[in-house]
Amino acid sequence: RSLNVITAALLLSVSAAASAALAPSTLTRDNGAPVGDNQNSQTAGPTGPTLLQDAHLLQKLQRFDRERVPERVVHARGTGAHGVFTVSDDISDLSRAKVFTMGSQTPVFVRFSAVIHGSHSPETLRDPRGFATKFYTTEGNWDLVGNNLPVFFIRDAMKFPDMVHSLKPAPDTNLQDPNRFFDFFSQTPEATHMLTRLYTDYGIPKNYRTMDGNGVHAYKFINAAGQYSYVKFHWKSQQGEHNLTGAQAAKIQSTDFNHATRDLISAINKGDFPKWDLFVQVLKPEQLASFDFDALDATKIWPGLPERKIGTMTLNRNPGNIFQETEQSAFAPSNVVPGIETSEDRLLQGRLFSYADTQSYRIGANALQLPINRPRNQVVSNNQDGSMNAGMRTGSINYEPSRLSGVSQDEAFKSSALPLVGSTQQARITKTLNFRQAGEYYRSLTATEKKNLISNLAGDLGQVTHQDTLYAMLSFFQKADPEYGRSISAAVSADPIRVAREAAALRE
């Protein structure tokens, strides 16, 4: 009788197991099969070697061995959050982009970052901070890939890899070295403006919530009538802009090298959602030549041009998985939508290639099919196959034009046309004005900000041993503003007469 009871109970449990789903608490392999033992490898008896048939062990080790993808070649250290962008002002006179529909709300994902060092480097380093926003609009994803500082070091994409090599740790020592990056910058006078900003305390934001953002380049807005304007984007933090002095940064770094990530995550977890207002400055095409500098030069701000508010972004949700969301997010300035286009800015033009290119290496050809990058509207493209394809298209017609598919281009979304004259060339821009805005910025600083700028800058410039490099750098600061030049020359004990002589020989 007892045998019958046991058999019946056994049959019952087998059939129940066959029909019931696995409890969600049961550990499984990647094929969904339950794991019976996650502590002990299968071995040949108590003393023999481990068995090749232990598929669970092999899979665990294989997957672990492949956990890393290459980190971003720049901006590797970052943190992200989800949120929403709400439009508060009607700018339909400027842009027909659906993301700017008055009163509309668009989901966003933002990744903040530092530029030069690796993915676990301290968040207290002097470095521009990235501020990249992906807007999941109804007409495709728009990425506004900006920085906290409003200008950039260089104006031509040709120089970017060299500049980054000079700023990154040296290939022979793995150490960052002011002798290397000032060697580069002493032959790159257009960087004087950005360097001046970077060496103020704005070069170390207190955290990501308390920094502004800037699109840096000029982009184009196209309205429903097809008219275009040049625009620069600015995010203004509702938390205010706050920075760290070198001493404050050193103190934080000694106890917490993740302070900015920690700050953002804990603020959002507490329901203290950070907000930024988005503004644009607008320049009509006929005003483009009205400055004594090139308005499409990324080393320049547009001084004195009013800022028009568009709306407000609120970050309200932390990622559930850092790798899948923050690390696999792929922002690209080439991801624009109808009503927003790129300008002829030579730095931006290079970025239009570089991001999608690096991402198809970093994450794969189908990076944009990943949930974090996938548009919220339907994608109907004939691009196909490739590594890790997640299947966004079906049917037999993978070409266009086709009488069979019913899918076609729509002329309503043609790009704007740009009138052009001249021949191809390789030449620097004519209106360089390398130093004026650096000087204007220096003079706008308070006495304390100037003092901190000089001591921050002297800390790095004082390490430069090559005299020609040192004096070239000092002459740039002198050319920007004589008081600035004299102060930094004194701080590094340089000969003021040589600095003044070299500055006088410089061309604006």
The binder of ligand HEM chosen from 91, 99, 330, 472 (CB under 6 A): 330
The CB-of-85 to ligand HEM minimum distance in angstroms stands at 17
Q: How many helices, marked H, and strands, marked E, lie in the chain?
A: 13, 10
Question: Considering beta carbons, is residue 70 or 303 the nearer one to ligand HEM?
Answer: 70
Q: How far is CA 81 from CA 123, 238, 264, 274, 428, in A?
A: 17, 17, 8, 10, 39
Task: Give yes or no: 147 in active site.
Answer: yes
The binder of ligand HEM chosen from 145, 211, 295, 472 (CB under 6 A): 145
Question: Considering beta carbons, is residue 57 or 164 the nearer one to ligand HEM?
Answer: 164
The CB-of-352 to ligand HEM minimum distance in angstroms stands at 9
269's enclosing H/E stretch is helix 259-269
Binding positions for heme are: 355
Q: Residue number with the shortest CB distance to ligand HEM?
A: 130
Question: Considering beta carbons, is residue 56 or 111 the nearer one to ligand HEM?
Answer: 111
356 in contact with ligand HEM (CB under 6 A): no
Question: Considering beta carbons, is residue 139 or 156 the nearer one to ligand HEM?
Answer: 156
Task: Give yes or no: 456 in active site.
Answer: no
The CB-of-254 to ligand HEM minimum distance in angstroms stands at 27
Number of residues engaging ligand HEM in binding (CB under 6 A): 28
Instruction: Please tell me the distance from the alpha carbon of residue 301 to that of residue 446, in angstroms, as a whole number.
Output: 20
The interface with ligand HEM within residues 287-306 (CB under 6 A) comprises 298
Give 63's DSSP letter. H
The CB-of-301 to ligand HEM minimum distance in angstroms stands at 13
Instruction: Give the interface segment with ligand HEM, choosing from 44-52, 250-258, 343-351, 436-444 (CB under 6 A).
Output: 343-351
Non-local CB neighbours of 119 within 8 Å, separated by 6+ positions: 71, 72, 76, 77, 78
359 in contact with ligand HEM (CB under 6 A): yes
Amino acid at 32: G
The binder of ligand HEM chosen from 79, 95, 106, 113 (CB under 6 A): 113
Phi, psi of 113 (to 5 degrees): -155, 165
Q: Tokens 């970025």 identify what position?
A: 351
Q: CB–CB of 107/316 below 8 Å?
A: no
Give 442's DSSP letter. H
What are the contacts of 157-160 at 24+ separation with CB within 8 A?
157/346, 157/347, 157/349, 157/350, 157/351, 157/354, 158/350, 159/188, 160/347, 160/350, 160/354
Q: Tokens 């019976």 identify what position?
A: 36
- Annotated catalytic sites, by residue? 75, 147
Contact set with ligand HEM (CB under 6 A): 72-75, 78, 111, 113, 130, 132, 145-147, 152, 157, 160, 216, 298, 329-331, 347, 350-351, 354-355, 358-359, 362
